[in-house]
């Protein structure tokens, strides 16, 4: 048994969670529901990137996770701004 095995298992479960959340993007009745699912997927991707970075000992993955978190936040803000003023639905 390797020391990094629990991290790999956790990342595998995270990928299953991401696939389950994707269904809400297709199902969601309003655009806001889809945005919620999108935001959840972003957080899960950041968490699994951090786990993979620690499992493979690559500090670069964690730097990219920080940048991804901030960029996804900006994307969410832009989508929310668009929903407030743009087309309804």
Partner 1 sequence: MIVITMVSVFLAISLVFNGLGVIGLHRFPDVYTRLHAATKCTTFGSIFMTFAVMTYSGGMYYWSNDAKYLNMALHTFAAMIALLITNPTGAHAIARAAHKMGVIPRYAVKDELKEAK
- Contact mark string toward partner 1, 37..66, x via CB under 8 A: x-xx--xx-xx--xx-xx--x-x--xx-xx
Distance of CA 55 to the CA centre of its chain: 19
Quote the tokens at residue 48.
């699994």
The answer to whether 54 and 7 have CB atoms below 8 angstroms apart is yes
Residue located via tokens 């990928």: 15
Q: Does 26 bind partner 1 (CB under 8 A)?
A: no
The angle at the Cα of 36, spanning 35 to 38, to the nearest 5 degrees, equals 60
Q: Which residues bind partner 1 (CB under 8 A)?
A: 3, 6-7, 9-10, 13-14, 17, 20-21, 23-24, 30-33, 35-37, 39-40, 43-44, 46-47, 50-51, 53-54, 57, 59, 62-63, 65-66, 69-70, 72-73, 76-77, 79-81, 83-84, 88
């Amino acid at each position: 048994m390797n020391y990094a095995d629990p991290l790999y298992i956790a990342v595998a479960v995270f990928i299953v969670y991401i696939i389950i959340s994707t269904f809400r993007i297709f199902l969601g009745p309003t655009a806001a529901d889809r945005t919620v699912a999108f935001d959840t997927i972003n957080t899960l991707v950041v968490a699994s990137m951090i786990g993979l970075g620690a499992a493979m000992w690559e500090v670069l993955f964690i730097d990219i996770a920080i940048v991804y978190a901030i960029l996804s936040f900006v994307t969410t803000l832009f989508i929310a701004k668009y929903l407030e003023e743009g087309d309804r639905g």
